């Protein structure tokens, strides 16, 4: 105790110096920003809760998202340094214009042109999800990326290696410092920063949302489609996220050798071939459809629900009699599904690579 006290007395003047130095620094920064922005700056928008969404599900701390940590996450998301041979970034498979899916690929296309076994999921409204991936295998938003990074058919890189590469880089040490207050680069910080970036992928500005906010109206056809949707699809694709987050088999698959779906996580027999009910937000941009990307168009999907379903093992009881729909009704449903397209989201400059 005594020893410490002494040490502090000696450093007293030093401390004062440091404090003054910081004050000057802060003052200096203030001045700079004032000078550089003649127009009032657009304030950085962090995480927010859309009023018609349920409360969020993830324990991820979004209160720490700021301009700098978001910028770091964005840089990482679009940087192929995260893959073994620096060819693939997160953005290679999650393309903004396709609501962050890999447009045109039935199953994901990764490093060395290797194919995965599943269709890339959109990245949107992650904070409202209980779990991630088609089988719900991962519970935490900031841990999902490890799956892609370490998968031999996706990015095939190790977290430790990435940390080494980031440390050697010219830009990252400074960016980590700005984002987290110190220069130390760790895989935890890297994953959290990626999480900060993705947590702000909030899609709540589709026409559907505007209708819910009372700011727009469905056309007659959209309204017919909406009614049909509520009648036939709503139980599983529950509003406003368009998923009830359960795992179900909608009759697309009857042999489960390549992919047992939810069973691989739950190990409960009866879960073979069940997959997470996917959100239908931005569905217009995310073709092809289903976990294996088997259907190229929305009409193919509706034809499946009306005619294609077979009474396979573990088929959801709701679908045993298929969903009777004529072609007009299918058109109507599709026109409703297109009201879930959020052009603001897929064009939002904050999220885009360039």
Binding site for other proteins (CB under 8 A): 1, 4-5, 8, 12, 15-16, 19, 59-61, 130-131, 133, 137-140, 142-143, 146-147, 149-151, 158-160, 163, 186-188, 191-192, 195, 264-268
Helix or strand holding residue 60 (H, E):
none
Strands annotated E in the chain = 247-248, 275-276
The contact mask relative to ligand HEC for 288-327 (x = CB under 6 A, - = no) is -xxx------x--x---x----------x-xx---x----
Which of residues 73 and 225 has its CB atom nearest to other proteins in the complex? Answer: 73
- CA dist 60 → 3, 50, 55, 140, 142 (Å): 42, 17, 13, 7, 8
Q: How far is the CB of 20 from other proteins (least distance, A)?
A: 8
CA–chain centroid gap for 151, Å, is 18
Query: Binding residue for ligand HEC (CB under 6 A) from 58, 60, 98, 110?
Result: 110
Q: How far is the CB of 67 from ligand HEC (least distance, A)?
A: 20
Contact call for residue 250 and ligand HEC (CB under 6 A): yes
Are the CB atoms for 137 and 143 separated by under 8 Å?
no
Task: Report if residue 237 touches ligand HEC, rule: CB under 6 A.
Answer: yes
Q: Is 65 in the site for ligand HEC (CB under 6 A)?
A: no
Based on its alpha-carbon atoms, the radius of gyration of the chain, rounded to whole angstroms, reads: 24
* 281 is a contact residue toward ligand HEC (CB under 6 A): no
Residue 58 parent element (H or E): none
For the beta carbon of residue 216, count every other beta carbon within 10 angstroms: 13
166 binds ligand HEC (CB under 6 A): no
Could you say which of other proteins, ligand HEC, none residue 31 binds, taking C-beta under 5 to 8 angstroms by partner kind? none
Residues 6+ apart with CB under 8 A from 276: 131, 133, 134, 135, 136, 243, 245, 246, 247, 262
Q: Which is nearer to ligand HEC, 84 or 237 (CB)?
A: 237
Q: How is the chain split among helix, strand and coil, in percent rounded to 5?
A: 50, 5, 50
Question: Locate tokens 């360039």: which residue?
Answer: 354
Contact call for residue 277 and ligand HEC (CB under 6 A): yes
Confirm or reject binding of residue 346 to ligand HEC (CB under 6 A): no
Per-residue DSSP letter, 275: E
* Minimum CB distance to other proteins smaller for 101 or for 129: 129
């Amino acid at each position: 105790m005594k020893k410490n006290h002494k040490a502090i007395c000696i450093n007293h003047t030093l401390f004062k110096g440091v404090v003054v130095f910081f004050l000057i620094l802060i003052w200096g920064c203030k001045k700079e920003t004032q000078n550089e922005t003649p127009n009032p700056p657009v304030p950085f928008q962090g995480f927010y809760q859309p009023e018609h969404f349920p409360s969020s599900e993830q324990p991820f701390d979004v209160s720490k998202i700021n301009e700098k940590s978001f910028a770091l996450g964005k840089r990482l998301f679009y940087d192929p340094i995260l893959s073994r041979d620096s060819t693939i970034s997160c953005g290679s498979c999650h393309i903004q214009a396709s609501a962050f899916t890999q447009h045109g690929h039935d199953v994901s296309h990764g490093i060395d042109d290797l194919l995965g076994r599943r269709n890339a999921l959109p990245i949107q409204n992650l904070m409202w999800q209980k779990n991630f991936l088609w089988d719900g295998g991962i519970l935490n938003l900031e841990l999902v990326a490890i799956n892609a990074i370490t998968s031999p058919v996706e990015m095939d890189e190790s977290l430790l290696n990435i940390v080494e590469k980031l440390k050697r880089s010219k830009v990252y040490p400074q960016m980590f410092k700005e984002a987290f207050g110190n220069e130390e680069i760790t895989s935890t910080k890297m994953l959290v920063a990626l999480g900060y970036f993705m947590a702000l992928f909030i899609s709540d500005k589709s026409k559907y949302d505007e209708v819910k906010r009372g700011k727009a109206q469905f056309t007659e056809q959209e309204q017919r489609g909406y009614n049909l949707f509520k009648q036939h699809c709503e139980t599983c694709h529950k509003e406003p996220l368009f998923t009830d987050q359960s795992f179900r088999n909608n009759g697309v698959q009857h042999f489960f050798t390549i992919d047992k779906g939810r069973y691989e996580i739950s190990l409960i027999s009866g879960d073979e071939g069940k997959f997470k009910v996917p959100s239908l937000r931005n569905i217009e941009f995310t073709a092809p459809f289903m976990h294996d990307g088997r259907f190229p168009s929305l009409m193919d999907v509706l034809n499946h629900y009306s005619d294609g379903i077979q009474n396979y093992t573990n088929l959801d009881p709701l679908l045993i009699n298929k969903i009777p729909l004529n072609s007009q009704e299918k058109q109507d449903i599709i026109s409703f599904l297109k009201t879930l397209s959020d052009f603001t989201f897929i064009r939002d400059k904050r999220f885009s690579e360039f």
